[in-house]
Structure 1
Amino acid sequence: MFKIGTTNESNRVDWIEQTLKRIPAGLTILDAGAGESQFKKFCKHLNYIAQDFGKYEGVGDVGLQTGTWDNSKLDIVSDITSIPRPDATFDAIMCTEVFEHVPDPVAAFKELNRLLKPGGYLLVTAPFTSLTHFAPYHFASGFNRFFYEHHLKNFGYEILDLRMNGNYFEHLGQEIRRIKRMAKEYAGIKISFFDKILTHLLLLRLQHFSAKGDSSNEMLAHGIHVFAQKHN
């Protein structure tokens, strides 16, 4: 069975796990916008501290929601642009799938930079493009690589790894797989057998295109993963 459009999350999780291993053991890491701290399990070699604004509860009337959400395991509850810790507190900072939920992501970058020690590591992931989710806390559909290259340079970072997750065809495949749900929820239509056959054929062709056109990620991708180091 072809996998086109199904690997967004698994690719991201694998990259985060492998990248966290690059951070030397014993350092202190801040998980900024940690949510339910799903990546704490990859930080056993680090001193892990979770921060989040703690207001999302998993429910809402608009867009994609999780249904439930647990904020009980946070170490710091605060706005990401005003975290109550001294300058240069942390050796590393992780911020995954958060910037699209921040009204001013550049202000968030500035605050994370304040908290990170010289020589420290910054791990960031965010969508290239995304559907409305976690509303009303969804303020941007995503960010291009130039967003990171511009702002990280201005803040004095060296980008050690910038990884595109998926490509144009992979992202189309992901959204085509949502058609059944979207048609029912927003159009009140149950897709037909013909629709299922058409969807299957489209996904099959997209998988072929993806294998031949991975560079299409310059046009569109699921998201971007960045690992950077702050200059001394």
Structure 2
Amino acid sequence: MTVGTTNLHTREKWLEAALSAIPAGSRILDAGAGEQGYRRFCSHLDYVAQDFAQYDGKGDAKGLQTVVWDQSRLDIVSDITSIPEPDASFDAIMCVEVFEHLPDPLAALREFSRLLKKGGTLILTAPFCSLTHFAPYHFYSGFSRYFYRTHLDACGFEIVELVENGNYFEYLAQEVRRIPTVADLYVGKRPRLWELLSVRVVLHMLARFCRDDRGSSELLHYGCHVRGVKR
């Protein structure tokens, strides 16, 4: 039973396909690259990694933290809204699961518009709903399809693909699976055996509903995957 476990896998498969479609030799900026987890999909590209390099894995010890975080291989250390590169200096930009960590994501979009060549590709993903993570650098819980439709157009982009990852039942299943970990962290207790069995029952129910889903992603989902082109 995989319901509630496919968020990352689905996002990475979409990213791999989107990046593979960019012509070989194109110059791509990984904005907010962090540990450069998706550099592996860019072997055919001229890859440039940027990040502000202030997150250390521990943050303020609130919410979900990574414990360790290695940003020693960055090409550019700067604010994402002021990247020291000339206008129209990139053929493509990707910004993966970063927007919730930016105080001003619209300023980042305007900077991406400045940096991209006409006809260049913008690849974005961000959660629609997220738990507190990487605090204190967690400013938004998520972004809807309407955010992208409104603000990408205003910043000079045409959306050519917008995919919602997951649906209401998958998102609930993801969080139901997280209950033992969160209970241990914030209550200091683990669920009893009968409670764990109840969790299994709920997951089976959610899996059944998910198989017959008719568009509940309009209500809740993991996050949007967006591909835009600079006009």
Class of the TM-score when normalised by the shorter of the 2 chains: over 0.9
Question: For residues 67 and 214 of structure 1, do their structure 2 counterparts lie closer, same or farther at Cα, with a shift above 3 Å needed?
Answer: farther
Q: Pick which of 119-128 and 183-192 moved more.
A: 183-192
User: 1:31–1:50: 8 Å Cα contact kept in structure 2?
Assistant: yes
C-alpha distance in 2, partners of 1:76/1:128? 28
Which secondary structure does the structure 1 equivalent of 2:34 belong to?
A: coil
> Residue 86 of structure 1 aligns to which amino acid in structure 2?
P
1:144-194: per-residue Cα shift (whole Å, max 9, x none)? 010001111112222111111100000000000010011121122221011
- The count of aligned residue pairs is 230
Indicate if the aligned counterparts of 2:113 and 2:156 stay in contact, CA closer than 8 A. no
Identity %: 56
Taking structure 2 as the reference length, the TM-score comes to 0.98
2:207 aligned with 1:218: no
Counterpart residue number, 1:175: 175
Please state whether the residue corresponding to 2:3 is helix, strand or coil: coil
The 5 A counterparts of 1:72-221 are 72-221=72-221
State the partner residue of 2:22.
23
Distance in 1 (CA, whole Å) between partners of 2:19 and 2:54 is: 27
Q: For structure 1, list consecutive stretches of 5 or more residues without a partner in the other structure.
A: none
Q: Which amino acid aligns with 2:22?
A: I
Query: What letter corresponds to residue 37 of structure 1 in structure 2?
Result: Q
Partner of 1:46: 45
Q: Match of 1:65?
A: 65
Question: Given the two structures, how large is their TM-score scaled by the length of structure 1?
Answer: 0.97
Shift of residue 214 of structure 1?
Answer: 4.6
Unaligned 5+ residue runs, structure 2? Answer: none
Aligned-partner SS, 2:215? helix
CA contact (8 A) 1:31 1:49 kept: yes
Cα RMSD of the aligned pairs, angstroms, is 0.8
